[in-house]
């Protein structure tokens, strides 16, 4: 009787291991498919027809956009949301650089010697 119980447990364990292996195989295949789809989308986005669009000169951000970003940053700071604050800080830095590139020093109020 003990041998039969032991054999049944081994058989059950083997079935469970096969089922787990099959689930793992399926998950890996889904992951591979997602990676391949992502690669194809990235390649499509970086083709030569899109390169020109990425290099175009965009106009400076509007004053309303800048004010909204500043307000969102201040709200994130008040709420104690460090990830949101850091993200908005980087966005504001990027927007500030774009604005600064369009200004000469005199317009920006910077004294040059």
Query: From first to last of its 113 residues, what are the pLDDT tens digits of the chain?
Result: 678 888 888 899 999 999 999 998 888 888 888 888 888 877 777 665 544 444 555 566 677 888 888 888 888 888 888 888 888 888 888 888 877 777 777 776 667 66
113 in any annotated domain: no
Residue 90 structural domain: 63-108
38 and 71 part of one domain: no
Which of 11, 27, 54 delimits the end of a domain?
54
- Structural domains in the chain (count): 2
Structure tokens belonging to residue 11:
């058989």
Q: Are residues 47 and 71 in the same domain?
A: no
The answer to whether the predicted template modeling score (pTM) of the entire model surpasses 0.75 is no
What does the DSSP assignment read for 37-51? Answer: HHHHHHHHHTSHHHH
| Start-end of H helices in 46-108 | 48-54, 63-79, 82-101, 105-108
Question: Do residues 69 and 88 share a domain?
Answer: yes
Burial (CB count <10 Å: 0-12, 13-18, 19+), residue 89: middle
Residues 33, 106: Cα–Cα separation, whole Å: 55
Type and span of the H or E element at 17: helix 2-45
102 within 8 A of 58, measured Cβ to Cβ: no
């Amino acid at each position: 009787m003990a041998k039969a119980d032991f054999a049944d447990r081994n058989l059950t364990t083997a079935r469970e291991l096969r089922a787990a292996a099959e689930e793992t195989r399926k998950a890996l295949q889904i992951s591979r498919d997602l990676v391949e789809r992502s690669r194809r989308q990235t390649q499509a986005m970086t083709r030569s027809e899109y390169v020109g669009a990425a290099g175009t000169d965009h106009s400076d951000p509007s004053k309303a956009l800048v004010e909204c970003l500043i307000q969102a940053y201040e709200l994130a700071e008040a709420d104690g949301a460090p990830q949101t604050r850091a993200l908005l800080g980087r966005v504001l830095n990027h927007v500030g650089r774009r604005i600064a590139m369009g200004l000469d020093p005199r317009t920006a109020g910077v004294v040059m010697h």
